[in-house]
Structure 1
């Protein structure tokens, strides 16, 4: 029988492939001489690359921490401002600082709200939906904390305003009584002018307090809108997650039903005519085997 040898052809192909591979390695080593000779250049993979949801998670958590710290600082400023004092210049500076801090917090909350709404949550991606629900709830809690603090400060300002108003009314009544008792003396002296100047200063102070109260009330109204939106978002995402859980539970229930049906089918198959025939054949084979064995030993 004639046989054709392919060994020589195989050796030639092997040598050609070795020379081709050596040329590629040499070209790579020449282009990057600092890394060593004869090394094959590998494609570098960025192992530090993080998933997008982790990056967004860290950014949102950082912003929420900043808002929380600013709310705490605003609480300290409110407590310091409500302390009794007589330096009006310091009071004006404190009011401006409180207003600036409240505006910064409001801007941060709105920025966080926009970021939370931009999370691509859907029923197909449970990770994004869960993250959006979590941050919406956290933002709602921070906003509630800020709103509660603003309401507390507003109530204290209104109490101080009521006290100043009552003191002002008593002061005006005492001035009217003094003018009624001795109108000539009070008209010629400077006492009434000083009192009127004090009344004007108190009125200016009250106007400023009223404006500050209006600004705080407007800020509280904006925060109420944010809380309402976040509550709606939490409810929507909760509905999405509930729908996912319902689908999973429904799939599990249907799987259990399918398993039970397979078991019933198996029991029915065992009770069928074919199963009885097979059992009879097996029994006949067993009996015939015993008969054959007995004949061999007899």
Structure 2
């Protein structure tokens, strides 16, 4: 988000004005309209499939909610037409068809919603410990002192140390907690107050609150399964703000029913949304929200800033930022 822009107040004669299909709304259009490259912006009709784009376009700005869940299994005839770059609003790409990722360079909205998601995580942790809504007295008879939980001395486990994981660390540090983090890549340096975890099993064993902030890949699918949950403390509170398929939901429900873990806060599920009558909807130990943890921040402004940085780079012919890596799957 702090990437420096390559600005040029006058478009060079050698720079062709990019033709941009915009599926991200009026605010993004307004941010791009005055760009020095003089882009021709085509607003995509809301009632048209997101892959049915103007064939002359070389840039596509899109998001999962544009209708990609209805995409055909095989790429449409002519795809990707003249596209040379696709910018997505989301960090994860699992909502898109595989053929969208197997063509022009794809850049993602990495880190855009890290702050509101981290605030959601903090709210979930404090809500679990303090239980303010649960202890509200409804009568004089219910007016009783009930001991509340505390974060001091507790262990916060974080699986995934991208922008979301780092934002969570910043917010929980002042509460006097122990922080353990599992990350895929090697630790390049020591982070004060953060202790690395060697495996998901080791992380689960010590965590009182476990935050899932991992990308959804073939390696992370069903990462939290029955075997992993069997290692958990009975006090464990699981928080998933990543993707539903990282958790084996049947194993999670069984662990909750049998009292082997204490609770879960789920902003994502598999499938999403869950089918009617799924026990996840009214389970007494689950706080369920409809994939909203990313909302409430300045995500539109941050997305616009990120897109402008990449539009600068694209117009100058230099590498783009936050490119999707097909090998890592994020």
As a proportion of its length, which structure holds more helix? 1
Q: TM-score, normalised by structure 1?
A: 0.20
Structure ranking higher in strand proportion: 2
